[in-house]
Amino acid sequence: MTRIAVVDNQKLKDMQLKKHIQHMCPVNRMGKECITIGENDGLIIDENLCTGCGICPKLAPDAIRIINLPEELKQEPIHRYGQNLFALYSMPTPMFGSIVGILGVNGIGKSTAIKILARMLKPNLGNWEKGGSFEALIKRFRGNEAQGFFEKIEKGQIKVSYKPQHVELIPKSTSGKVSELLKKVDEKGKMGDYTKILEIERILDNDIKNISGGELQRVAIAAAVLKDANLNVLDEPTTFLDIKQRVRLGKFIKGISSEENSSLIVEHDLIIFDYLTDYAHIMYGKEDTYGVVSGVKPTRNAINVYLSGYLKEENVRFRDKPVKFEARVPLKGENKQELISWKSVGKKLGNFSLSAKEGSIKRGDVIGILGENGIGKTSFVKILAGVLEKDSGEISENVKVSYKPQYLEASDELVAAVLKDALDKYPNQIINPLNIEPLLLKKLNELSGGELQRVAIALCLSKDADLYLLDEPSAYLDIEQRLIISRLIRDFAENKNASALIVDHDLLFIDYISHKLMVFTGQPGKEGIVRGPFTMEDGMNLFLRELGITLRRDELSKMPRVNKEDSFKDREQKENGKLYYS
Ligand code: SF4
């Protein structure tokens, strides 16, 4: 097979159109059955007959993809979901005594690969009608290093535990107290220790249905690692966690790793990925069409290769341009016009008190906001907008704010209706870069987390405002999408001469997007102290001191990287008081 055809028959309901597509196919016109209409009225493409002329994807761009496969993919896939559906080629290989990560965009088969390893999905080697088996996978890898690993999984000598990607779905299938759930899976007898480290002790008596996203994530991780397994498979373990919790989780996972143990991690927070994993695979291909797993590399190399967009060994370019971190746009002087300033602002909200000494925001600034959940970030911006009244202090003037909340509500409205203004006013500035076009005819409640996030960002930016507040815009987005929205928001603020405040827990995203930083310190739920805006160096120094970590720049990619605790660099930077380099 030299090409793959993927058809989404859910999006191709019009029988007239299907017949027209069939009629227009040049292979069909020659009397062969390249495109047929199946028993369930679904359109079927014979990949062996298709010449890749490109006519049918043009007639139904949302529903049909015809992609030429790279030369080396001569073998059948490891798994294919069905005829004209997604195919996964090759597998990641966990390594004992090491933490292995998988890097790649959404929809490229990462979850498929790890579900196969966790034995939740039987690999069918492209024979979806016959069904799959793990034995077939072992045969396929005969003579390869991975063969032994898969054999041990098959024989039960390697026990696998799995933390699913979408922890928010757990309460739909599980009920009862957190403690009851964890007791059931505590085969290691470590429930007391792990719940303490993961800071979920105080919610043990709560019902699983009543805990927050961040708590649910940590409960799901605890449930996975409490099992007596020697391969922990963790799919996106940092979603909903703030930076402190991410770093703590990283230390915890590293701490429970041993020579008899292996972990496989899928993660989009590149700084945590770098910190946590020893080796990494890169996954490439075409979203929702096919995915390929690269050979394993030490994490630093893998990240630099990933950022370069080119896999030398495989001779595959998977991104047009490399990602460069030195491309940071320098501040255009301090002569920018001031948008708003404040002095000695105070506010009491029940038992929570918020205070902000002195600061100002200039037009065109993109300011990253760092701080734990529940520390008053949203309340402060509401005060700036005049939506929430301050108890004391001065604000130069109230500004018009457009706000994208952290938790997104999905109604049954059509995307095209919700984004009417954005479509009219910003087709090139917002709609195209966020790739909204294919979503226009969907309802909000039909969108995936990442799609809903892109729509919410577009909606927030399309409103007329002086100050844009985006709360966790990176959630559910993959690395590529995070970099695209960073550039988009910076360009947007500059062109509109507006300002943006970005609350996020992905340090790389904050480093990439921000001109300046604000840091919220204090105690969540009790006291929030607003500090800054600072320069990036001053803000990061303040924040990293609280976290107890130091960041250096990678020599090649210039990406910030966490120094190994107590390493020479870590000690040197701490001694010099330079915990971060801009
Ligand atoms: Fe037919 Fe293939 Fe051309 Fe589509 S791309 S019209 S299936 S030959």
**pLDDT tens-digit profile of 466-478?**
999 998 899 889 8
For residue 52, report the distance from its CA to the centre of ligand 1, in Å.
5
SS3 443: strand
- Average pLDDT (485-496) is 92
Q: CA 286, CA 282: separation in Å to the nearest integer?
A: 13
Identify the pLDDT of residue 329.
Answer: 53
Pocket test for ligand 1, best of 1, 34, 69, 83 (most atoms within 8 A of CB): 34
CATH class (in words) of the domain with range 3-68 = alpha beta
Identify the pLDDT of residue 234.
Answer: 94
**Residue 87 predicted with pLDDT over 90:** yes
For residue 61, report the distance from its CA to the centre of ligand 1, in Å.
13
Range ranked top by mean pLDDT from 63-72, 148-157, 414-423: 414-423
Closest CA to 153 of 143, 166, 162, 163: 162
DSSP string, 273-339: HHHH-SEEEEEEEETTTEEEEPPPEEHHHHHHHHHHTEETTTTEE-SSS---GGGPPPP--S-PPEE
Question: Which stretch of DSSP H or E encloses residue 99?
Answer: strand 99-103
DSSP designation for 394: E
Same fold, 90-317 and 338-547: yes
Q: Which two tokens stand for residue 459?
A: 């909606």
For residue 25, report the distance from its CA to the centre of ligand 1, in Å.
5
Pocket test for ligand 1, best of 1, 28, 32, 66 (most atoms within 8 A of CB): 66
CA distances from 286 to 70, 110, 252, 300, 456 (A): 11, 12, 34, 24, 25
Domain boundaries, the chain: 3-68, 90-317, 338-547
Ligand 1 closest atom vs CA 35: 7
**Residue 377 predicted with pLDDT over 90:** no
The CATH superfamily label for domain 338-547 reads P-loop containing nucleotide triphosphate hydrolases (3.40.50.300)
Ligand 1 closest atom vs CA 45: 7
Amino acid at 503: V
Q: Which two tokens stand for residue 338?
A: 């001031």
Q: What is the mean pLDDT of the chain?
A: 91
> Which bin fits 54, alpha (ψ -120 to 50), beta or left (φ > 0)?
left
Task: Give the rounded percent of residues in the chain with a pLDDT score beyond 90.
Answer: 65
Task: Give the rounded percent of residues in the chain with a pLDDT score beyond 70.
Answer: 98
Question: Which stretch of DSSP H or E encloses residue 101?
Answer: strand 99-103
Query: Confidence band (pLDDT; 50, 70, 90) for 31?
Result: very high
Q: CA 37, CA 44: separation in Å to the nearest integer?
A: 6
DSSP string, 483-494: HHHHHHHHHHHH
Query: Confidence band (pLDDT; 50, 70, 90) for 334?
Result: low
- Average pLDDT (195-219) is 93
**Residue 447 predicted with pLDDT over 80:** yes
Instruction: Report which protein residue has its CA nearest ligand 1's atom 3.
Output: 53
The string of pLDDT tens digits covering residues 559-579 is 999 998 899 999 999 999 999
- Average pLDDT (88-96) is 91
Ligand 1 closest atom vs CA 64: 4
Find out whether the peptide bond into 533 is cis, omega within 30 degrees of 0. Answer: yes
Identify the pLDDT of residue 130.
Answer: 87
Closest CA to 248 of 207, 214, 209: 214
Dihedral (Cα; 369, 386, 431, 87), 10-degree rounding: 50
**Residue 407 predicted with pLDDT over 80:** no
CB 293 within 8 A of CB 313: no
| Residues in contact with ligand 1 (CB, 6 Å cut-off) | 25-27, 34-35, 45, 50-56, 66
Identify the pLDDT of residue 241.
Answer: 92
Ligand 1 closest atom vs CA 52: 5
Strand 516-523 with 43-45, pairing = unpaired
Query: Confidence band (pLDDT; 50, 70, 90) for 364?
Result: very high
- Average pLDDT (344-362) is 95
Identify the pLDDT of residue 322.
Answer: 85
Point out the least confidently predicted range of 2-11, 197-206, 327-336, 485-494: 327-336
- 320 CB contacts (<8 Å, ≥6 apart)? 309
- Average pLDDT (245-252) is 93
For residue 69, report the distance from its CA to the centre of ligand 1, in Å.
15
CATH fold of 90-317, please? Rossmann fold (3.40.50)
For residue 104, report the distance from its CA to the centre of ligand 1, in Å.
29
Q: CA 295, CA 103: separation in Å to the nearest integer?
A: 12
Q: Which two tokens stand for residue 499?
A: 């300002």
State CA 36 to chain mean position distance: 38
CA distances from 20 to 25, 147, 396 (A): 9, 47, 63
**Residue 410 predicted with pLDDT over 90:** no
Q: Counting Cβ atoms within 10 Å, is residue 261 exposed (0-12), middle (13-18) or buried (19+)? A: middle
Instruction: Report which protein residue has its CA nearest ligand 1's atom 4.
Output: 56
For residue 18, report the distance from its CA to the centre of ligand 1, in Å.
13
Ligand 1 closest atom vs CA 53: 3
**Residue 1 predicted with pLDDT over 70:** no
Closest CA to 368 of 566, 265, 240, 513: 513
Query: Confidence band (pLDDT; 50, 70, 90) for 456?
Result: very high
Q: Which two tokens stand for residue 84?
A: 């004209």
CB 83 within 8 A of CB 235: no
Instruction: Report which protein residue has its CA nearest ligand 1's atom 6.
Output: 25
Pocket test for ligand 1, best of 21, 24, 49, 51 (most atoms within 8 A of CB): 51
pTM equals: 0.85
* Beta-bridge partner residues of 349: 352
Query: Confidence band (pLDDT; 50, 70, 90) for 327?
Result: very low
The string of pLDDT tens digits covering residues 274-318 is 999 999 999 999 988 999 999 999 999 999 999 999 998 888 888
Query: Confidence band (pLDDT; 50, 70, 90) for 166?
Result: confident
